[in-house]
Chain A
Amino acid sequence: MGYFAVAFSLGIIAKQAGLTAAIGFVSSFFTRASAGEYGVYTLVAAQAAYVEIVAMCLVTNLRYMLMSAALSQKIAPGTSWLHRVLMACCVTDEIFGISIARERYCPPAYTYSAALISTLLWASGCAAGIVAGGMLPTAIVAALSVALYGMFLAIIMPPARNDRYVLYAVAASFVLSGACSVAPVVSHWSSGTRTIVLTVVISAVVAWWKPIKMEDADGQA
């Protein structure tokens, strides 16, 4: 649902960039990255060079690199490389969120089915946005767009309740992320860049300060 809403608003931007519903559907189906697609569409609208498109994708999606690395620890040893590659391609903010929420190892089928449903919704949302762009009242679009964040909260809060240090990490993330969005210099970075920098810094500090116990960590890390 949140997917459809976000993709819908993305479709409205894609329309301004001159995309047809079919191209929007295909591009969303295979890219599946809100910030990355947003970047690409605005660059297309601005008639940017190809190099800029690649650079934009690299920066806005670097967080997927971290997520992929984290997800690699949730795959049972002995899983074939084909499954690994396919699961990696499934990584989005939400699929990653629910995949790591699984206890011990995450079965590939779980990730695939979730990814298939969400990708179809994502792609059709984008196409619908291109077709119907601007027909829905903004109040509804704004309300639907928080669905995504509600989902994120539901993912991070239960572990934060069980593990004090996850709670500290989450609290630090909220505070620093809020501070960085208004701080001089840093606030001019794209939100994708801020996400990467903050994630690396906060996670590294907490990991150094309170490393996980290795014997507990098997299958949980």
Chain B
Amino acid sequence: MDRHSIIVCILLGIITTNLIRVVPMLLIKGQISNRFLRSFLYYVPYVTLAVMTFPSIIQTTMSPISGTVALMAGIVAAWRGMGLFPVAAICCAIVYLMDTLVL
């Protein structure tokens, strides 16, 4: 693909992606009073993040085992109230050690 078409593709990607983000924000003004909708939006973030975490976490690592152990350790660490960075660091360290040393 030539340089010109690549740039057009990238621009289209930028425009589409940002429109998706802005439109709902402009349509929803203020607080929603519908109870079901509010409950729905309350659960959405946690469900989305959970769905994106599993099973991807065991698919990106070199072996599914290291990903599984990192997932378990991450859940325990996060459950005990550790912050974003410590939990992420623990997961990384476990995967690196298991992938290089054990396997």
Contact B22 A89 (CB under 8 A): yes
Chain A residues contacting B14 (CB-CB under 8 Å) are 27, 30-31
Q: A146 and B16: CB pair below 8 A?
A: no
| Interface positions of B from 1 to 33, Cβ below 8 Å from A | 1, 6-10, 12-14, 16-18, 20-26, 28, 30-32
Do the beta carbons of A150 and B62 come within 8 Å of each other? Answer: no
- A147 at interface, CB cutoff 8 A: yes
**Assembly CA distance A118 to B26 (angstroms):** 24
CB distance from A23 to the nearest CB of B (A): 6
Tell me the bound Cα distance from A151 to B86 in angstroms.
Answer: 9
Chain B residues bordering chain A, tally (CB within 8 A): 74
Q: Judge whether B22 and A143 touch: CB under 8 Å.
A: no
Contact of A221 among B30, B38, B54, B55 (CB under 8 A): B38
Other-chain residue from A91, A139, A169, A212 in contact with B47 (beta carbon distance below 8 A): A169
Residues of B55-93 whose CB lies within 8 A of A:
55-57, 59-62, 67, 70-71, 74-75, 77-79, 81-84, 86-93
Q: Is the interface of B mostly helix, strand, loop or mixed?
A: helix
Cβ–Cβ contact A66 & B6, under 8 A: no
Chain B residues contacting A169 (CB-CB under 8 Å) are 43, 46-47, 50
With A44-B9, A150-B87: A58-B16 Cβ-Cβ less than 8 Å: yes
> Are A70's CB and B45's CB within 8 A?
yes
Interface pair B8/A50, CB less than 8 Å apart: yes
Across-interface contacts of B54 in A (CB, < 8 A): 173-174, 177-178
Q: A19-B6, A150-B87, A151-B88 are in contact. Are A199 and B44 (CB under 8 A)?
A: yes
B18 touches A2 (CB 8 A): no
| A68 within 8 A of partner (CB) | yes
Asked whether, in the complex, the Cβ of B52 is within 8 Å of the Cβ of A31, the reply is no
Chain B positions near chain A (C-beta within 8 angstroms):
1, 6-10, 12-14, 16-18, 20-26, 28, 30-32, 35-57, 59-62, 67, 70-71, 74-75, 77-79, 81-84, 86-93, 95-96, 99-100
Chain A to chain B contacts (Cβ below 8 Å), 7 pairs = A27-B10, A66-B48, A89-B18, A145-B60, A149-B91, A212-B38, A221-B39
Q: With contacts A70-B44, A73-B38, A149-B91 known, what are 4 further pairs, Cβ within 8 A?
A: A65-B23, A91-B21, A214-B35, A221-B41
